[in-house]
Amino acid sequence: MSNDFKEINKYILGKCYNYPVLRDQIIKNGMLILKKPKLDLFTFLFKIIISQQISDKIADDIWSKICSKIGLANPQIQIFSNKDYLDKILNEISISNQKKKYICGIYKVIKENQLNITSLKKMNYEQFCHSLSRLYGVGPWTCDMTQIFFFNKKNIFPKNDLVINKVTKKLDEMEKKKINIKKRFSPFLSIFTLHLWKMSKRIL
């Protein structure tokens, strides 16, 4: 699969040939890329759990407070030397007790090396979701976000994402016909998804 994002974006634009509204939105977006993560798996999932069912702005504010308390922009699991320190940080921020339990559970599993990152990277989609969703608090949406933004998988379509569902429905209305996204934009569904998120700020 190509790692040339310029070519990938050119491919996606070419697939919009009979969808003028979508093509115009892709052009407005410009070239989009998947960036390599600066967080490790634990802190990535930590951040994702915080963002569940709240706005991006609130999630970003909470994560900024955590980073400020720790004194690092991109903390890693080793910063949380023990569960007591993790508990202290969690108790100083505004998140639900349920999310705190999720984060502590994930910390324990990863700290005890019960999750093999190398193996996860090699798994197919179904195997990956089955393995990661065994973590308390991790569901299909979190699995998809991890595939896209942590492992940089290029062909993931997060069908459980609320914004993505709203944008695809709106595009169907604007084009006056249904777009078969999975068929048309595979094998670069993750990159296409980035386009949908970006255009959502304009068309919703």
The owner of tokens 């998809």 is 144
The pLDDT value given to residue 78: 95
Distance (Å, whole) CA 144 – CA 54: 17
SS3 call for 114: coil
Q: Does domain 41-144 have CATH number 3.60.15.10?
A: no
The pLDDT value given to residue 2: 66
| 122-194-144 Cα angle (round to 5) | 40
Chain-centroid distance, C-alpha 30:
20
CA distances from 183 to 15, 50, 149, 187 (A): 10, 32, 22, 9
Spans of the chain, pLDDT less than 50 = none
The pLDDT value given to residue 73: 95
For the chain, the structural domain boundaries read: 5-34+157-203, 41-144
Distance (Å, whole) CA 62 – CA 50: 8
CB 39 within 8 A of CB 47: yes
The pLDDT value given to residue 3: 75
Distance (Å, whole) CA 143 – CA 191: 16
What pTM was computed for the model? 0.94
The pLDDT value given to residue 28: 98
